[in-house]
Amino acid sequence: MLDTLGVGTRAQTVYAAMQHQPRADVETLAALVSLTEGQVREALDELVTLELLRASREHDGEFVPVPLAIALPTLVRRQEEELAARQRTIAESRTAAARLIAEQVAPRPGAQQASGSPAATEHLLGADAIQMRLDALVAGATTEVMSLVPGNKVPEDSLKAAKAADTVTLGRGVACRIVYQDAIRNHPSTLAYSLWLAEHGAQVRTTAVGPQRLLIADRVAAIVPIDPDNPWGGRVYTTDAGIIAQLIALFEQIWAGAAPLDAPRTIEVATGLTSTERAILQLLAAGATDEAVAKKLGVSGRTVRRIMADLMDRLKAESRFEAGIKAAKNGWL
């Protein structure tokens, strides 16, 4: 029990020994508890500091153990004072961190439009600059974060960086909505992270067709890739109200059609198709190649061909062309 009150193991051992032999000297105590004399002296110093030993009234230079009934309230009070001090330090650190985050998220004073007002957009070049701004936006959000994350997996280093910012944001009760691609369900670490988000208060959904990468903070700032095929090469940060409104509308449209992370795999009653099967048919019908479909869905080309072969079998089609005609007639497209 004394461990939780800040009393070290050696100090507890020496204290117990002194309760049986209160006048034992350092050498005797060392032999009794199997410690060196130096270790016993350190333990005695700790006990005096914690007020578990007090000076003897009868023998100068000696100490006697304080009964636990008297010492415990003092130890508890000391712990309460230390906890209050730590809480004050944490509160001060949070205030300082919030100030720094606000400074990082705010548009740079030097970036001006022709009218002299702060620039509504800024180009972020390089993975480090992008990650820093993403972290700052997420950790600095006060009301809401909306995010679209395409692909079948998120790199481990990105997950680690995101978790630090997400922990701060979710801990403050900020509403977070994230849409991943269905394919993450086949990537253990990304799936585990999405489940962690859900357990800590975020709303997580998935969709078959990969959305464009997007992050919106507090409905006033957003980051999108300059080139969707190279998201870490460069991104655009914007606070333009008109652009933000369009991006929010895009997010809400994708969110409405996405499935909750914990929802079972759904099959359309009318067609018997899964969302992935329907997406493959639609993309192939639009002229996309197997490779393009695979990239869009975050799966392998082999998976696309396997699913298409199964669909052809169900449609009793000899070719993809015939499968397309029959799928249209059946209302699958």
Q: What is the mean pLDDT of residues 207-222?
A: 85
Question: Rounded to whole angstroms, how far apart are CA atoms 181 and 149?
Answer: 7
Give 101's pLDDT tier (boundaries 50, 70, 90). Answer: very low
Residue 220 and residue 239 in contact, taking contact as beta carbons nearer than 8 Å: yes
Output 84 or 243, whichever has higher pLDDT.
Answer: 243
Q: What is the mean pLDDT of residues 35-56?
A: 85
Give 259-307 pLDDT, tens digit per residue. Answer: 887 765 555 556 677 777 777 777 777 777 878 777 777 777 788 788 8
pTM: 0.53
Give 169's pLDDT tier (boundaries 50, 70, 90). Answer: confident
Helix axes 188-199, 156-171, angle to 10 degrees: 0
Q: What is the mean pLDDT of residues 141-159?
A: 82
- Range name among 15-24, 86-95, 101-110 with the lowest pLDDT average: 101-110
Give the pLDDT confidence score for residue 93 in this predicted structure. Answer: 61
Give the pLDDT confidence score for residue 115 in this predicted structure. Answer: 45
Output 194 or 186, whichever has higher pLDDT.
Answer: 194
Output 245 or 165, whichever has higher pLDDT.
Answer: 245
Return the percentage of the chain with pLDDT > 90, whole number. Answer: 5
Q: Among the ranges 205-209, 239-243, 319-323, which has the highest mean pLDDT value?
A: 239-243
Q: What is the mean pLDDT of residues 250-265?
A: 79
Give the pLDDT confidence score for residue 113 in this predicted structure. Answer: 44
The residue whose two tokens read 């499968």 is 323
Question: Rounded to whole angstroms, how far apart are CA atoms 55 and 44?
Answer: 12
Give the pLDDT confidence score for residue 109 in this predicted structure. Answer: 44
Q: Tell me: pLDDT of 52 over 80.
A: yes
Q: What values do phi and psi take at 235, rounded to 5?
A: -140, 160
Domains and CATH numbers, the chain: 1-105 (1.10.10.10), 121-260 (3.30.870.10), 275-329 (1.10.10.10)
Give 95's pLDDT tier (boundaries 50, 70, 90). Answer: low
The residue whose two tokens read 């023998």 is 59
3-state SS, the chain, equals: CHHHHCCCHHHHHHHHHHHHCCCCCHHHHHHHHCCCHHHHHHHHHHHHHCCCEEECCCCCCCEEECCHHHHHHHHHHHHHHHHHHHHHHHHHHHHHHHHHHHHHHCCCCCCECCCCCECCEEEEECHHHHHHHHHHHHHHCCCEEEEEECCCCCCHHHHHHHHHHHHHHHHCCCEEEEEEEHHHHHCHHHHHHHHHHHHCCCEEEEECCCCCCEEEECCCEEEEECCCCCCCCEEEEECCHHHHHHHHHHHHHHHHHCEECCCCCCECCCCCCEHHHHHHHHHHHCCCCHHHHHHHHCCCHHHHHHHHHHHHHHHCCCCHHHHHHHHHHCCCC
Q: What is the mean pLDDT of residues 52-79?
A: 79
Burial group, residue 5, by CB count within 10 angstroms (0-12, 13-18, 19+): middle
Q: Tell me: pLDDT of 114 over 60.
A: no
Output 163 or 100, whichever has higher pLDDT.
Answer: 163
The residue whose two tokens read 């300059």 is 226
Give 166's pLDDT tier (boundaries 50, 70, 90). Answer: confident
Give 221's pLDDT tier (boundaries 50, 70, 90). Answer: very high
